[in-house]
Amino acid sequence: MPQGADLFIQKLAKEAGALVLKRFGKDGVHYMKSDNAWDCVTEADLKADKFIVGRIKKAYPTHGIISEEGGVHNENAEYVWIADPIDGTMNFSRGVPMFGVMIALVHKKRVMLSAIHIPATKELFFAKRGKGSYLNGKRINCSRIQTLENSVGSGSSTMNKRNAKFVGNILRAGRRKRIQLGSFFSTAVNACYVTCGRRDWMVTLHGRIWDFAPAYLILKESGCKVTDTNGSPWKFGTLEMVAANPTLHKKLLKLTKNI
């Protein structure tokens, strides 16, 4: 592990979050990357990305970087930083304070560190491989609920074909089990709330590596089992995720297999 990386990533996430929060309520959409409503970019995205990338390059010049707005730098390096300057940009651009800064450090395709900062609530979620997950320095654990009945989950908000099939499974099961499903329109917030037990499970079926790598470690270190939709352990590069405590996870897979 690079010297001081655990403190560096936490400080970087908090400072980038503070930068973003200063622009909240001031920045609307700067441009669209596609015609999807969520695929927008603000000036704050660009400024935060430049800040994060610049700090990493200065502190660890031999490391690689993959960032949402800044692209790829030296991606074949032994250590690679993954960054999403604002996860939940649509929320941010519309004055909804549910968004986060996501950063992870990967070593040979293994996520070693993760930091997610939720600026509006001043909450820093941090995880170190094998050392647990923390919220503002206090150890946290995922929900211990054992049944899907009356569980509260979060997931993808885009109704594509796969997600529609999953929601259909939820609706059919919900007739008997009263399952709750929602989304904060931010993987950062969805994942963090599962990590600390505010939500019981998460199923995310689309996104990019900067959405999944930071979320993975905080979820796993909080006690969640984290897999793909068929139950195989989540690996770096997998662009879907099912997370819950092991007992609940087994039951959740009945709704996600083969979707």
Q: Is 68 annotated as a binding residue?
A: yes
Q: Is 103 annotated as a binding residue?
A: no
DSSP code at position 233: B
Q: Take residue 141 and report the two structure tokens written for it.
A: 């654990």
* Conformational region of residue 48, where left means phi above 0, alpha means psi within -120 to 50, and beta covers everything else: alpha
CA distance 220 to 142: 9
Q: Take residue 205 and report the two structure tokens written for it.
A: 């079926």
Strands (E), 43-173: 64-67, 71-73, 79-87, 100-107, 110-118, 123-128, 132-135, 138-140, 152-155
DSSP code at position 200: S
Could you tell me which residues come within 8 angstroms of residue 180 by beta carbon, excluding any fewer than 6 positions away? Answer: 150, 151, 152, 153
Q: Please, are residues 61 and 79 in contact by the beta-carbon 8 Å criterion?
A: no
Q: Is 69 annotated as a binding residue?
A: no
Instruction: Give the residue carrying structure tokens 């050392």.
Output: 131
Burial 197-207 (b: 16+ CB within 10 A, else e): bebbbbbbbeb
Give the residue numbers of the binding site for Mg(2+): 68, 84, 86-87, 211
Give the residue numbers of the binding site: 68, 84, 86-87, 211
